[in-house]
Amino acid sequence: MSVRVGVAVAVALMVAAAARPAAADRVLPAGEMAGVSNHPVGALGDELGPGWGMRVGLGIGSGQIALVAPLEFGSFTTEKPERDTDGLLSIGLGLEISGVLYQGERIGLRARGGYQWRWLSGDGEVIRRCHEVGGCDGGYWHEEPAYLLSGPVAGLAATWSWPLAGARAGFALEARVERARVELPGTGVVAGPLVAIGLTTWLAPSAAR
């Protein structure tokens, strides 16, 4: 199943889970902080190595649904340092909708879907040769690598939380899959799954009872 289908399913489940009188729920701030381990797979993994990220997300929510804009700072290793330098700095921005699938007294299950953009930059300059990357008749030039890695993302998180003044705060262990796409010099467009495991602290509104 594609990640786009996974995002649609996640959003549908969240809407179904949140189907209740909206007038009883207040709009409150929502947020999260997470440490993430990123792992490119397939064709994408042939070009980029594993990476890490620190995420901070801010948004609003009502009842069991929240809209969050995460900001991520991190890096990726690379399988081709002559093209990318030894590593790539990553600065990311996303837009995600998350919701509660199940919430017990402490243990819960949350899903999310959205879109993620990451701007990758190299650590210094590399040499681009015409016969390797094309676009010119001959020769070479110096360039600092800069790429855009982006795609739809879906995630599922097991949570442990407690009530806090009309909201819930807690911890989550989350698995995410992104259908990421990047255009690389001499290689062209490469797409594949980007699998992430994250440990998150979060705050989100709680549905009125």
Tokens of 149: 């890695």
Do 180 and 152 contact (CB within 8 A), yes or no?
no
Residue 122: domain span: 3-13+26-205
Alpha helices (H) in the chain, listed in sequence order: 3-17, 81-84, 130-133
CA atoms within 13 A on the CB side of 71: 4
Examine residue 190 and state whether it is found in any structural domain, yes or no.
yes
For residue 4, the model assigns a pLDDT of: 60
Domain membership flag for residue 68? yes
Q: Say how many CA atoms lie within 13 Å of 13 toward its Cβ.
A: 19
Q: What is the domain-level CATH number for residue 59?
A: 2.40.160.20
Mean pLDDT across 28-39: 94
With respect to residue 175, please indicate whether it lies within any of the assigned structural domains.
yes
> Does 150 fall in a domain?
yes
User: Does residue 79 fall inside a structural domain?
Assistant: yes
Query: Does the structure show a pLDDT above 80 at 19?
Result: no
Buried b / exposed e over 46-84, threshold 16 CB at 10 Å, is: ebbbebbbebebebebbbbbbebebebebbbebebeebb
Q: Would residue 104 count as lying in a domain?
A: yes
Q: Which pLDDT tens digit goes with each residue over 112-169?
A: 999 999 999 999 999 888 877 777 777 888 899 999 999 999 999 999 999 887 788 9
Does any domain span residue 19?
no
pLDDT (mean) for 13-22: 48
Higher pLDDT, 28 or 73: 73
Inter-residue contact 113 to 7 (CB < 8 Å):
yes
pLDDT band with cut points at 50, 70 and 90 for residue 21: very low
pLDDT at 23: 45
Residues making up the chain, counted from first to last: 209
How many domains is the chain partitioned into structurally? 1
Specify the pLDDT at position 107: 96
Convert the pLDDT of each residue in 167-193 to its tens digit: 889 999 999 999 999 999 988 999 999
Q: Is 20 among the domain residues? A: no
Tell me the pLDDT band of 207, cut-offs 50, 70 and 90: low
Whether this prediction's pTM lies above 0.85 is answered by no
Instruction: Indicate whether 17 pLDDT > 50.
Output: no
